[in-house]
Amino acid sequence: MMCHSKIDLHMHTAVSDGTDRPEEIIARVREAEICLFSVTDHDAIRGCTALVKALQTGDPAFLTGAEFSCKDEEGQYHILGYGYDPGAHAIRELVEKGHALRMGKLQKRLDFLRDRFGFTFCQEDIQSLFALDNPGKPHVGNLMVRYGYAATKEIAIRDYLNQYHAGSAYVRPEYAVQAILDAGGIPVLAHPVFGRGDEIIVGEDMDRRLRHLMAFGLKGVEAFYSGFTPKLIAQMLAFAEKYALYVTAGSDYHGSNKLVHLGDTGLPDPTEYPSGLLRFLEAADSRIVRS
């Protein structure tokens, strides 16, 4: 086992909806004095493969990651995959499926903005959106601001883009969990308390949610998260203890696209790490990329 005094296992690069290129984020992580990190781009692993090649002697330890948008009849989830083999067929197939669905949602969002609000964009800007690896609401929101359709990206998302509901255009959670497992990875539920929009999931609803996903093979929960209060952290730690789930910690850093700092996870001193986190670190140890 190596230094784990500061951990951040949830961050995004420009491959999805962050602003730092994969090569740039290494310097940011080093500046934040993080010992172990993971990049978890949405429905994408290209940032991780680039990072593995870019790591140099003395750089912080790295764990491959990704965040998959999932949905079924019971709800909507973000499933994190850690320590997978980037060359595995299962993870690449999952990424391709998630990417195809994301591009379909992009076209439907643009159609919705045109039909509902009369918002249109020039063909060159539309092509630029589709040329992105994983375009999402922040990218469309920034474009709306540039065209004067909204004052800020946040307003664009809240007042316009969130009025469109994507329906069934999601990967099912059982498919994502199994693909992560098949690729040698560890599936973890991201920011479990947060559901769709402003929904907060606690108590029996959370218990039911976890049991539903554990039936598919879910192994852990992101109990430490930048947006969690101490009470929410305590709830997730209690559930992790109840079901012997791994515990992870992440900031959900997006560069300048989000007011969150690297390392902002709410983790206590390493001497007070919960057993679920220690077990996760032990399970992940053989999967960590060390420069």
Whole-angstrom distance, CA of residue 66 vs CA of residue 74: 22
Which two tokens mark 163? 């009025």
What is the reported pTM? 0.90
- CA 83 to each of CA 45, 51, 87, 187, 231: distance values in angstroms, whole numbers, following the listed order: 11, 14, 12, 9, 29
Domains of the chain and any CATH numbers: 7-68+77-83+184-287 (3.20.20.140)
User: pLDDT tens digit string along 196-235?
Assistant: 767 899 999 999 999 999 999 999 999 999 999 999 999 9
**Is the pLDDT confidence value at 135 over 90?**
no
User: pLDDT tens digit string along 243-267?
Assistant: 999 999 999 999 987 889 999 999 9
Q: What is the mean pLDDT of the chain?
A: 93
* Residue 17 pLDDT: 87
